[in-house]
Amino acid sequence: MGDGNLEVGWYRFNSSGGRKIPEIVVRGHRCSGQNPGWLNGSHPSVGEQEVTRSVCFSSGENTCSWSLEIKVKNCTGYFVYWLKPTPADHTVYCTAADSALADPCVTHTVLDQPWRSTDCNHTECTGGQWMGDEYLEVGWYRFNSSRGQKIPETAVQGHCSSGKKPGWLNATDSALGDPCVTHTVLDQPWRSTNCSNAEHTDGQWKGDEYLEVGWYRFNSSGGWKIPETVVPQGHCSGETPGWLNGLHPSLGEGEVTRTVCFTEVEDSCSWD
């Protein structure tokens, strides 16, 4: 479809498909046209009278291949638009429902693919295929699958989440920022200082070189905290065990910074 033959004049959108031009980018081949149009600005409030705005028309990855200036007026309950014929074949003015632009908690797209999990390394969850979001449309999304419901707040190593370059949230908010509430539990009993020479792991040495950056809690029969005394080489099921070179904080101290030493030679701090 296209609006190239539209006559200049005032128009009002009023259908089940929407009552106003969307204020967010619309990718190509939407709204039944090759080059859909979206409002590059906001709609006026009731008191603003008529305003001038630009409509962008998307083509492929270019979200504003052409643009037209139009007028918009708030008629208290609906909007009217002073429109012109669109600039090329199959270019069309899009519409969106009011709710789609007002409350993203109500109107959004659900991403429920379990392969997005950080547990999916080297495409093992997608039959050998790398995944990517380069063609995802701009808009509001919600994650909801058996493998996770939010973007992680800690660094994600490459080749996780079924993609070569996984994304993670470099920020926290008040609801998720308390490490006493949000953390990962490490419950492997082989971490105990009593586990020498990999005897509890079928002869396999263990290591944490692929552990993601973040908050962790130890909770197993093997122990609940990092020891404050030197751990000899070959214990905790690792060739180079780590121990806390300092004291744990008291209840009123809050967060403190400490050094973890790793023993390569008996009774020494080879790395920290």
* pLDDT, tens only, 45-68: 887 889 999 999 998 878 898 899
Which pLDDT score, from 0 to 100, does residue 272 have? 63
- Residue 111 corresponds to which amino acid? L
Distance CA 97, CA 49 (A): 22
From the list 232, 227, 235, the residue with the least C-alpha distance to 200 is 235
Task: Report the predicted TM-score, pTM, of the whole model to 2 decimal places.
Answer: 0.40
Which pLDDT score, from 0 to 100, does residue 175 have? 42
Among residues of the chain, what percentage have pLDDT more than 70?
91
From the list 221, 269, 211, the residue with the least C-alpha distance to 245 is 269
Distance CA 138, CA 153 (A): 22
Residue stretches of the chain with pLDDT short of 50: 99-102, 172-176
- Ordered DSSP codes for the chain: ---TTPPSEEE---BTTBSB--SS---TT-TTSSEEEEESS----GGG-EEEEEEEEEETTEEEEEEEEEEEEE-SSSEEEEE---SSTTEEE--B-HHHHH-TTTS-EEE--GGGSTT--TTTTTTT-----TTPPSS-EEE-BTTBSS--SS---TT-TTSSS--------TTT--TTTS-EEE--GGGSTT-BTTTTTTT-----TTPPSS-EEE-BTTBSS--SS---TTBTTSSS-EEESS----TTS-S----EEE-SSTT---B-
Instruction: Tell whether the torsion through CA atoms of 169, 174, 175 and 179 is positive or negative.
Output: positive
Distance CA 157, CA 28 (A): 33
Which pLDDT score, from 0 to 100, does residue 143 have? 92
Distance CA 207, CA 204 (A): 10
